[in-house]
Chains A and B, each alone.
Chain A
Amino acid sequence: MKILTILPIFLIAISLYGFGQTKISGAILDESGNPLPGANVYIENTYDGTSTNPSGGFEFVSNERGKQNIIVDFIGFESTSSEIHLAGNPILLSLKLKEKFNQLDAVNISAGTFEAGDKKKSIALTPIDMVTTPSAAGDIYGAIQALPGTTTVGESGKLYVKGGDSRESKTFIDGTLVYAPYSSSPPNQAVRGRFNPFMFSGTMFSTGGYSAEYGQALSGVLALKTNEVPVEDQLNLSIMSVGVGAAGTKTYEKSSVSASLNYYNLKPYMQLAPQNLNWNAEPESVNGEVSYRLKTAKLGLLKLYTSVSRSNMSLAQANQGATDSHENFNLVNDNVFVNTSWIGELNNNWILSTGLSYTNNIDYVTLDTAKYNEYLKGGHAKAMISKKVTDKIKIKFGTELFSKQFENEFLAPNDSIYNGFESNMATAFAETDIYASEKFVTRIGARFEYSNYLKRFNFSPRISTAYKFSKTSQVSLAYGWFFQDAADEYLLYTNKLDFERADHYTLNYQYEKNQRIIRSELFYKGYSNLVKFTDAPFYTAEGYNNKGNGYAYGFDLFFRDNKTIKNGEYWISYSYIDAEKNYLDFPETSAPKYSSKHNFTLVYKHWIPGMRSQIAASYKYASPRVYNNPNSSIFNGEQTMAYQTFDMSWSYLFCQSIIFYASASNLPGFKQHFGYNYSDTPNDEGVYAATPLVPGAKRFFILGCFITLSRKGDINQLDKIN
């Protein structure tokens, strides 16, 4: 009986520990036969295994018997499993591993696109560039204007992309549209973006051929991604020569709340520094923001952001054409912006992204006794589902609703005019990215839009592709149709206009090696259906048609080097843009007044460890632009002077929580002059009187101090000041 109980133990022991050992040896290679050292080779569900040696070889012994699976794992390669039969005879194995498909290493569509993000390896644009480029002076649009494809228009400050007007470029935050991305300013004075660049951790700037996800933009798209859930409580204070601000962040297990309040007043600064403008009340603004973040599941993230701001200013400006009389220009701007987004995982690995944005922007302008108010309300709702069907195929589908209400009123003592329109648009888009291999990708998409105001629809196909020759260089092509509503100020008077259209052709070559990048791009853009004025009065529907057209072509060069100079990095950007349009009131085809042929930017940043300082400098040149002098018989026959600026900034980390910042724009004081504004009607001598367009000041200086108090580990710096 005892034997009976011991026997099974003995038998099992034999099977477990066996007597015969099997030697397994061989080599692990990649697909082209190169050895793979460091691969993990083992028998499944056992401790038996080893790593390959420098020549890819391996050898180990196993006490297992019978059928077993041998597994090989290695970083960057697909694991393999093969069945072997262990019977004591040596086994010789040579296995080839297939390189794993990795989208981060794979070719990416670079035509027209500059991307910056957390894990993006491209050094073309980094998130920190948005705040450290001196010509930007802390403005997102200023930073973007240091990239190729853009033209700096000094009297505007807005984004002008590849021969397109500023309204042809749109800004999206977390996927949804920002209807009023710029601050309000007096006519012909540069505006800034409304948003603090520190809010964002990812940027995608496209100057052509962009995804079918984006519409209603003929020239460019700036898609900004806001920060995720912050991990620590913070209190930020900023004290600047132009204003003060405070922001606080409170974090919880899965969520966070932030709030900030900023007040800017340029009066103290403008009274110290000489100004070209005659201010009655210097620009003043107050802005409050609240944001909330909630992690809803493993992948789920809810973001809410609201900002409310008011700004006002008043200046005495020369009466059109007159040198001796002034009129008072008052501007009050109210802006409310709400942006929410939710991203989450559905069944079967579908990812759902939804977003909702709301803008309410009002400009109250008073010109002496006349009032001119402009009301813009806009909403954008978007839902998109996407999925990685396989490692190599991604698909996405989405639908959107845009709703816009635009109203204008003119109130004079004995006259008043009101105009307004409401436009709703529904869209649908679909897109797929297909990787034939890590080297070759094609993106095919299409977008459909229907406007209930215009009672028209459009369909825009988009296709782009990229091919990677080697680890360092790739070429990318993009083609697509792009549609946009006519400008609001014309839609006020008519809805009998078709969408304006641009066709993009972009060819991009990129070489990136060792922290250096060269990009060059050739582009052509054909415009059609542009709004054109007729002889009928501007306030009638007959005053407009879609017979305008135009084109833009040119090339970009971009070189960035973060390697050659220790602690230094620089980039050079050049764009040649030849644009001509025949639209609006143009009697003939001509270059539009915002377009410069040659655009050059040089940015250099140097980190000085001993001084814990970053010193940065940038130089910008834009060749003369045309403008029209109604006193001359040649349309757009005059030229502005070339635009030049040299800007510097200095950031000094005084201690972990305090940063001092100083910046100066146009330090050498290059003369900047943007042509002339002419009166609408000739004076008694039959001359249209001219007013020069100059910047508000020759130079602009900012001094600031930024204090961040946070909890780190167990130290609580917040408690120290309480």
Chain B
Amino acid sequence: MKKTLLITVALFIAVVLTAGNEKYYQKMGETLGQYATCKSVDDFQNLANQFNRISKMETAEWLPLYYEAHCYIIMSFIEQDVIKKDGFLDVAETAINKMIELQPNEAEVYALQAFFYTGRLVVDPASRGQKYGPMSGQAIGRSMAIDPTNPRARLMKLQNDLGTAHFFGNDVTPYYAQAEALLASWDKFEPKSQIHPVWGKDQVVGIVNSKK
């Protein structure tokens, strides 16, 4: 009887745990599905709120924070008002810092951090370039040190390099070749789970198409 009770309790705990975990995966899945339909700042705000609610429930998970920050960075790019841009990036920064504390050994988190620094930079390139350009480069370097194949880190680097080459009127052909190579290998990169980041392919397609 004691044994049965123990088994039951164990089983019960397992059920609850998987249920919780399933709920997390289910919520993440549902929310990630909405990315495709988001266009405006309001859409992304709504999405960011959903990730924020998940992150508050799943305090040990870094992915909800990742996507929340990602939404706010995108919002900063869509928004025109300079002060609001920085406001969104402030929220992204808080989420990114929490995420790095939770998962300091993940290539994705630094790739996103690089994206975030680029966001800070474009608010005022003339006076912020000096500071945030190197910071973005450093984050890419960290990400690639962990996983040199991470496609988002490679994308960030490619965007930086291409921007620089365009600005200085340098030869851009090698970067388009890199973009094509990145696109060709994009699907070979296996995300660690269904809910790990996969975004970025469209941007690479965009770069490849912009060549013409």
Contacts and interface: CB of A to CB of B under 8 A. Distances in A.
B49 A40 contact: yes
A47 B160 contact: no
Contacts of B53: 40, 42, 47, 49
Given A47-B23, A713-B144, A231 B12 contact: no
A710 B52 contact: no
A54 interface: yes
A232 B169 CA distance: 25
A45 B55 CA distance: 11
Contacts of A5: 4-5, 8
Given A45-B57, A612-B168, A714 B23 contact: no
A643 B108 CA distance: 59
A1 B4 CA distance: 10
Interface string B119-141: 00000001100110011011011
B164 A75 contact: no
Contacts of B169: 612
Interface string A596-615: 00000000000100001000
A655 interface: yes
A51 B144 contact: no
A714 B57 contact: no
B45 interface: yes
Interface stretch (A19-27, A120-128, A361-369, A496-504): A120-128
A38 B46 contact: yes
Contact of A127 (B4, B127, B160): B127
Interface string A1-43: 1000100110010000000000000000000000001111010
Nearest to B167: A612
A232 B45 contact: no
Contacts of A232: 134, 137-138
Contacts of B164: 656
A118 interface: yes
B144 A37 contact: no
Given A612-B167, A653-B168, A712-B137, A51 B1 contact: no
B54 interface: yes
A37 B52 contact: no
Contact of B87 (A1, A39, A76): A76
B17 interface: no
A437 interface: no
Nearest to B23: A47
Instruction: From A1, A47, A49, A710, name the one whose CB has the most chain B CB atoms within 10 angstroms.
Output: A47
Interface residues of B, number: 43
Contacts of A42: 53, 56
Interface string B40-60: 001001100110111011000
Nearest to A54: B42
B13 to A, nearest CB: 11
Contacts of B87: 75-76
A73 interface: yes
Contact of B140 (A118, A230, A713): A713
B170 interface: yes
B70 interface: no
B98 interface: no
Nearest to A610: B169
B88 A75 contact: yes
A38 B49 contact: yes
Contacts of B49: 38-40, 49-51, 73
B52 A231 contact: no
A681 interface: no
Interface in A101-131: 105, 118-119, 121, 126-128
Contacts of B54: 47
B83 interface: yes
Contact of B57 (A8, A38, A46, A126): A46
B127 A714 contact: no
B131 A118 contact: yes
Given A127-B127, A713-B140, A75 B168 contact: no
Contacts of A105: 83
Interface in B149-178: 157, 160, 164, 167-170
Contacts of B88: 75
B49 to A, nearest CB: 4
Interface in A703-717: 710-714
Interface of A: 1, 5, 8-9, 12, 37-40, 42, 45-47, 49-51, 54, 73, 75-76, 105, 118-119, 121, 126-128, 201, 230-232, 607, 612, 653, 655-656, 710-714
Given A51-B49, A73-B52, A128-B127, 4 more contacts: A50-B49, A119-B86, A653-B167, A713-B137
Per CB-CB distance, the 4 closest pairs between chain A and chain B, nearest first, are: A40-B49, A38-B45, A712-B137, A51-B46
11 contacts: A5-B4, A9-B8, A39-B49, A75-B87, A119-B86, A230-B134, A607-B126, A711-B141, A712-B141, A714-B148, A714-B157
